[in-house]
Structure 1
Amino acid sequence: MAGTRAARPGFRKQSLQALVNSLADAIGTDAVIQAVSASDPDASEKSAPDDAVRIQLQNSVLTIDVEIVSSGYPRDIRNAVRRLNLRKNAHRHPGDVIGMVAAQSLSPGSKRELKESGFAYYEFVGSLFLKHGFWLINIEKNSNPVRKKEGVVDLFTDARENVVHALLMHNDTWLSGTELARLAQTSQYTCSLVLQELILREWVNEEGKGPGKRRKLIRPGLLLDAWAENWQGRNAQESRWYTFVENPGLLLGELAERIDTHQLDFAWAFTGTAAANTIVPVLTGTDSAEIVVADGDGHLMAEALNLKPAPKGANISLVERRGASLLFRSKCADRLGYFASPYILYLDLLNGRGRNKELADSFRKHLELLWQRN
């Protein structure tokens, strides 16, 4: 869909009707809600219709000026807000007026900026925010982040996720396509797809032309937030086991020693609570370990460590994954074996277990300090 405005009359009509339905569900049957248009529905792109929704409740009337955009990229949101501000001064509707941006999907950053600027927003999955006078509607619906959204590149397929991981790990560096492909262990074509999407989102800057073109990640926090949203919608292959150790506080060291003895020929890394707490000590102690391996290697790790299946009372979790989980693992000091990258550690803390949220908050601050130094 070309342009920043969703100019097709059919699309506008469907979008407005979906918004009317969502408002009716939120407000109830006491209100009269109707879509209105102040100009010709066959108008050109430059003079596209002024779409609006009017809500009448008892003696009050609220008109919502609606700008419908085909995508929620920052440039599109800015243009929509500019048009809403222009309409505000020339408004002909009675009662109170508020501006709203409607899109297929909006990033958390776009939602926050719209809220702070006094605008409402609507996502076609049903998310709705409106605050004006005594009006307050705040509905957040899951947009199923694992599913590719229309008009937006899915950043988190296996190969593309490697590119995201590489950009975060080297967020202080200007990278060529060749350098990024080497770091991400994927093709330059895959890197180009990811970079184009991130440039549209204004999370990556670029400089130069041709073979000398370089890109650099400038909004690592927003990229990590998007990855976290996608990560929490997944179902990992995880099995639970038990092994005896005399001192549970030294579990990682004991496991690393056993793994070293067996000289395993496949990649693995500690992740989760115990590993993250080693880097950012928050908890007084941990008595379990999580080990991430590639798909199909879980049983090999269980055999090497002589683990016993333990649906209850487990102290070892083996997580089998494809994708970026084992990229950028590093050898930890103190003979503790391999640790997953700091970004995988952070993402794996977002599982809601125990005090992991508290640890995740501290780990996020640790990452933010690293970004500030860069």
Structure 2
Amino acid sequence: MPFRTEYEKNMLSGFTEAVNAIPGAHLTQEHVGAYDEGFDGVALFQLGSKKPRYFALEVKKNLYPRDLPQIVWTIKRNRTNHMGSKNLLVLLADTISNGAKEWMQAEGVGYYDNSGSLFLPTEEAYILIDRPTTKKQEKVIGSVFYGRRSEVLEALWERGRAWSSVKAIAERINAAPSLVSSTLQELERHDWIETQGNGPAKERRLTDWNGLLDAWTDHEQRRKPAATTKYFVPRLKAQAIPAALDSALAERRIDYEITGEFAGNVHAALFSSVSVIRARISAGQLAEAALEAIDARPVNEGFNLLSINESVELPFRRRIGELWIASPLRTYLDLLNTGGRGKDAAKMLREQKLQL
């Protein structure tokens, strides 16, 4: 009996091919779609001359930590009824989050996803193949880190251990409640937040700080860097550029924030010297006029001012001294992609300012 959908057939085919590529391994379909009580099929696995072992197979679209306990409990119950308890449960999915993979490794549940990542913790062999996520998978797993949705995360981070409602977050970042609500639901699936209450009174707060930041870090290092414009400001040393920029932008009521190495030094004194100022500046003709006012000249190299061309709000910037500075979290994320000592500095900033 074939799998019920083309997607399920493709997942089984990919899983079979991945297993059979292992030296000495052989996987054959025994019953596919044979059981309606809780899992999608059965396959027989053999490694060399060792005793064959049955795999109970379940196909899902995407897997996150929050989904797994109920899925695994249901399938293990039916696996015991039909096959005995000593055979391996294997979940197949197009996309499996890193947190879900870690959970299954800890619980001894096998998995396969469309990147080719494979985990089979059998008595005969412990097989773990970890492949980089595909672009398609990154769009699924990393969707909460894009655009306005990332501001929902930063709003929760800003609140620390305090509870937040959809309404409060939407007002904080000037976003639609529907966007905030859908983002929070996605965070729940990753098991990064906890909830209390119901309906309009439902509130959330972060619980897995490191899990969230690890995933965000991975996303930042994989994503295509934001477009930038390089400038050279003559007659000014790098340290003097932020004050000149602040004056010119404030005169024209243009929002901005200083990030990168300069902001890192404001938050944690990470660099002995700074040669390039990195800033987000609200785009437009007035911004161009402000840059002209400080004699910032577009260049391809030899720059001392870098404008990050992202169309984003700046709700979390901080007025420190006479300058607008990116938050420690945003500064950390930006440092990951500055090159040079950026990653080392980001690690130090995380240790000093982001351990909540």
Deviation at 1:166, TM superposition (A): 1.5
What is the distance in 2 between the residues matched to 1:183 and 1:353?
Answer: 32
Given the alignment of the two structures, is residue 347 of structure 1 paired with residue 342 of structure 2, yes or no?
no
Please tell me the root mean square deviation across aligned C-alpha atoms, in Å: 3.3
What is the distance in 2 between the residues matched to 1:72 and 1:274?
Answer: 40
Q: In 1, are the aligned partners of 2:57 and 2:91 still within 8 Å (CA)?
A: yes
Q: How does 1:28-47 map to 2 (within 5 A)?
A: 31-37=25-31, 41-44=33-36, 46-47=37-38
What is the distance in 1 between the residues matched to 2:265 and 2:135?
Answer: 30
The equivalent residue for 2:241 is 255
Q: In 2, are the aligned partners of 1:282 and 1:359 still within 8 Å (CA)?
A: yes
Equivalent position to 1:201, from 187, 190, 194: 190
Task: Tell me the alpha carbon deviations over residues 75-104 of structure 1, each in whole angstroms, 9 at most, x when there is no partner.
Answer: 4322344356554798579xx965433222
The equivalent residue for 1:3 is none
Say how many residue pairs are matched. Answer: 348
* Change over 3 Å in CA distance of 1:311–1:213 after alignment to 2: same
Q: Given residue 92 of structure 2, which amino acid in structure 1 is its aligned partner? A: A
Given the alignment of the two structures, is residue 103 of structure 1 paired with residue 97 of structure 2, yes or no?
no
The equivalent residue for 1:360 is 346
* Change over 3 Å in CA distance of 1:52–1:342 after alignment to 2: farther
Deviation at 1:194, TM superposition (A): 1.5
* Change over 3 Å in CA distance of 1:32–1:175 after alignment to 2: closer
The equivalent residue for 2:131 is 140
Deviation at 1:144, TM superposition (A): 1.9
Deviation at 1:183, TM superposition (A): 0.4
Deviation at 1:221, TM superposition (A): 3.1
Given the alignment of the two structures, is residue 321 of structure 1 paired with residue 310 of structure 2, yes or no?
yes
Given the alignment of the two structures, is residue 214 of structure 1 paired with residue 230 of structure 2, yes or no?
no
Q: In 1, are the aligned partners of 2:170 and 2:176 still within 8 Å (CA)?
A: yes
Given the alignment of the two structures, is residue 171 of structure 1 paired with residue 167 of structure 2, yes or no?
no
Q: How does 1:52-67 map to 2 (within 5 A)?
A: 52=43, 54-57=45-48, 64-67=55-58
* Change over 3 Å in CA distance of 1:155–1:360 after alignment to 2: same
Q: In 2, are the aligned partners of 1:268 and 1:292 still within 8 Å (CA)?
A: yes
The equivalent residue for 2:65 is 74
2:61 match: secondary structure:
coil
Q: Given residue 271 of structure 1, which amino acid in structure 2 is its aligned partner? A: T
* Change over 3 Å in CA distance of 1:121–1:32 after alignment to 2: closer
Deviation at 1:354, TM superposition (A): 0.8
Structure 2: unaligned runs, 5 residues or longer: none
The equivalent residue for 1:286 is 274
Instruction: Give the structure-1-normalised TM-score.
Output: 0.79
What is the distance in 1 between the residues matched to 2:111 and 2:137?
Answer: 22
* Change over 3 Å in CA distance of 1:41–1:128 after alignment to 2: closer
What is the distance in 1 between the residues matched to 2:105 and 2:338?
Answer: 27
Task: Tell me the alpha carbon deviations over residues 339-360 of structure 1, each in whole angstroms, 9 at most, x when there is no partner.
Answer: 1122211111121611111111
Q: In 2, are the aligned partners of 1:16 and 1:53 still within 8 Å (CA)?
A: no
What is the distance in 2 between the residues matched to 1:142 and 1:153?
Answer: 10
Q: In 1, are the aligned partners of 2:270 and 2:349 still within 8 Å (CA)?
A: no
What is the distance in 2 between the residues matched to 1:317 and 1:352?
Answer: 11
1:105 match: secondary structure:
strand
Instruction: Give the structure-2-normalised TM-score.
Output: 0.83
The equivalent residue for 1:4 is none
* Change over 3 Å in CA distance of 1:213–1:60 after alignment to 2: closer
Deviation at 1:318, TM superposition (A): 1.0
What is the distance in 2 between the residues matched to 1:320 and 1:307?
Answer: 16
1:160 match: secondary structure:
helix
Structure 1: unaligned runs, 5 residues or longer: 1-6
1:33 match: secondary structure:
strand
What is the distance in 2 between the residues matched to 1:228 and 1:244?
Answer: 35
Q: Given residue 142 of structure 1, which amino acid in structure 2 is its aligned partner? A: T
